[in-house]
Structures are given as C-alpha cells and as structure tokens.
Structure 1
Amino acid sequence: MDGELFPRPPVEIAPGAVHLPGWLDEAAQRRLLEDCRRWARPPAGLHTVRMPSGGQMSVRSVGLGWHWFPYGYARTVVDGDGSPVKPFPPWLDALARDAVAAAYGREAGPEAYDIALVNFYDDAAKMGLHRDSDEKSDAPVVSLSLGDSCVFRFGNVHGRGRPWTDVELRSGDLFVFGGPSRMAYHGVTRTLPGTAPAALGLKGRLNITLRVSGL
C-alpha cells in the first residue's frame, strides 16, 4: 500500500506458502469488489453454510464454477436454493496464474483454475483451522483479501496444533499456498473491524479463494 510507514515485503511463511502484501492496487480492488457484489445476488447467491453437525459457519459464501458444500462440490447449490452455480469467468484463471507467477517466480501448471469461493466476514466472523482437501488437484491455492484486515493463522500439514504462524492480511493482499504447504491447516482467528480502506466502501472482509478442482 502506498504511504506505508514500514514497508511490508513479500514473505515465505512456510515452504510453498507466500504472502505478497498489497498485490492488488486500489483500482483492482474496486473492480473485484463490484464483481463480488454481483456474484452475491440471487439466484445461487451469498448463503450461510450449515455443517453436518447442525452448526453453521459464521461466514457467508458464494461459489463460482463449482459449489462447495461440506464436504464436496456440486454444479448446483445443493444446500441452498438449488440453482445452477454461476460460471467461473476465464479472467479469474488468468488472475490466479498471475498470482502464482508473482508468488513463485514461475508459471502455474497446465490445469485451469475453475473454482472461486467467496467468503464474507462480518465483525464477528471467523474460520476454524481446516484444510482445502475436497479438490482432486494439488495446484496451489490463491487467496485474495478485500476490506477489513484479519488475523490469518497458517499451520502445518499434520494437524490443528502448533506450529503455526499468524499473519495480518489487509485489503489487496495475496496469499498463495501450494507444494509442501498445499494441505496445511489454516483459518481466520478474528477480523479487525474498521480497518478497510475508506475509498473501497466495504464494511467487513471478503476473501476470494481460487482453486483447481481436478474434477
């Protein structure tokens, strides 16, 4: 971000897990926010995910390309209004590939990115430690942040316990994890209300996760 008192350089949090602060400039953030607002509208719009245990997630979600539900993917919103999932636009595949190249200094593999999972966090929302393990591909996961900052906890591949690293993700930040970190546990311990850039006009946090389904 321009005007940072202390620069935030790119950091490799763990092997294959890279944080690139301020990767999206303000104009790119505004464009992506408008897209998210359009995707959030029904049908197949933003909804609350219920777990098999009967509890519900504190984030609200919408998917493109494939609809994620615990614990799998479908072409319709099987746990919501039943509508067909909104299409995954090709420019998101290009964005994901640019992100992988920026993080790793090399091009992404041949598989096309075909899933976007958009999660909206209000002031109280969080995400427990979990793995992105419902895909059939081991391509790197690309995560983009908009709006309020959060404390992102990136753990290890063996379980939900330590070691882990807490990272502050701000609006415009990119986080990519693949290779030996592809199956690492990760989550959001809290959001930081009121930290979104004023010019963005967003209260809360949006996380856009891009994945290769392999399906």
Structure 2
Amino acid sequence: MKEKVSAMLSVFSAPGEYRGSRKNIMKKKILVITGSPRRHGNSWAMTDAFIETAEANGHSITRFDVGLSKIGGCVACEKCFSKENQACVYNDDFNKIAPFIQEADAVVFSTPLYWYSFPGQIKNFIDKIYSFVVGQKDIAGKACGLMACCEDHDISALDGIRFPYEKTIGLLKWESVGEVLIPGVFHKGEINATDGLQRASALADAL
C-alpha cells in the first residue's frame, strides 16, 4: 500500500550487492520524506525508483513531499506534545507526519542540495523532529537512508547534507544503512545519465 501526501529520514551497498536473500526480507513500514519543491526533478526520480522497488519487495510505503508542505520553523518553545496528539503546538503539516515517524520501521530522506545544505522546507521538518526529544517519545532503533543530488560536480558539496543527516540520526539512535549521493545533475532528467536510479533501487532492495 502506498500513501502519498503531495501538498506539503536502508541498507545500501554498491549496485548489485545485497545482504541476504530477497525471499527472507522482513516487510517494513517505510516513511519516505522528500525535500524538493520541484516536481519530477532528479531527486524525485530517485524517490520513484526507490519506492517502485520497495513496493515490489512487499514493503509498505508512506510518502510525504515535505518540499510542497507548510511547515514552520521550530521556535524552541519546548512545549512539544503538550497538546494531546500534537507533536508541535503550532498545528502545521508536521503534525500530519509525526504519527508516521513513530510507526515507521525505516525513514528515508530524498532531497536536492540547495546552497550547500538542505532546502528550507525539509530543514524545518528535521528541526521539528526535536519534538520527540522534548516529548520523551522513544523513536530509537529505526533504520534510515539518504538519497541526495546536486548540480556541483564535486561530491564534497553534498557534505552540507550528509553531515547534518549523520549527526541527526546519531542523536536519534537510528542506524544509517545507506547513502546515495549523486553530483553533477541539475536539469530534469539528468539523473538518467548517472547510476543514481540504479543505486536508489539497490537501496530499497537491500532493506
């Protein structure tokens, strides 16, 4: 089943390498968070490739296109979960996603690089994950993965996404099981000339 909200954090090895047998895959609830406000761009294509393979393997996928959402920035009020069934006291789209974060077995982020960091929309989402810390909600032990791309041909440009991703999941006690980082793509479709879609699919296969 695929739940997608469009208006609005895997085990990965090199392509062709998998850990274990597909017949023995444990079915998971996977939450996919996209950060691009540009529909059907390069990071969206990686997302679609990942989801297609994950669904074919029997996993349950919930997708939130955070880049198209309305999520305000964290104001550090420390009132998280003080209202019943609300992670954030400011009732924006983050509260629609929060229950899926709690229920997910795995969280996968897919995003482009904007000015050497996360796009603002997904950064607001990541900041609000802090609500689970303040609210003392146990969301430790999840698997997670990252797919990211950028126009810059120097892959180190993606450090602005990779570093905060790795520090965030370390704090949350999530296990990063893969990063797919693709430099040198900007115009829609340029991802097709790279191994990005194959690696996104392999990321799903290896979950």
- Relative to its length, the structure with more strand (as a share) is 1
TM-score, scaled relative to structure 1: 0.30
- Relative to its length, the structure with more helix (as a share) is 2
TM-score, scaled relative to structure 2: 0.30
Q: Which has the higher contact order (CA 8 A, sep 6+)?
A: 2
